[in-house]
Amino acid sequence: MTEPQGSAVLRIELWHGVLVLAMLTLLVPVGILEPKALLLGGLFMGVNFLLLSCGIRWLLTPLAVKGRIWAGVFFLLLKFVLFLGLVLALLLRVRLDAPSFAVGVTCLLVAIVMDRLWAYRWIGE
């Protein structure tokens, strides 16, 4: 039994947003995390994951027409350029709190695991 890829991506993005907002409301007021770096890490991974999923979906769609293949290649190239540009900016120009940025990035990985555990729970029945 399979599910549409788009719905899984949407659920993961929603879990990711909820986790970043939870970290923002729970840990920022206590002073453990810096909000700018946390939001930037979460935004970076959310956009990166969305571009990757769109690019792969359009590139690997069965019987993809020529325009969709080029759109998929464009999404993957855009994702790669954004990733390299942000990493370069972080290393050379912007002073961010590294642990806060890492928490924002890690929220996506936790969201993926949470979504797969949720899906496994319903598929296993």
Domain that residue 92 falls in: 5-123
Highest mean pLDDT among 47-51, 72-76, 87-91: 47-51
- Residues making up the chain, counted from first to last: 125
Q: State the total domains in the chain.
A: 1
Q: What is the mean pLDDT of residues 65-80?
A: 74
- Indicate whether 16 pLDDT > 70: yes
Q: What is the mean pLDDT of residues 67-76?
A: 73
The pair of structure tokens assigned to 115 is 């979504």
pTM of the model: 0.75
Q: Judge contact between 64 and 49, C-beta under 8 A.
A: no
For residue 67, the one-letter residue type is G
Q: Judge contact between 80 and 47, C-beta under 8 A.
A: no
Determine the pLDDT at residue 2.
Answer: 54
d(CA 65, CA 57): 13
The lowest-confidence range among 20-29, 52-61, 105-114 is 52-61
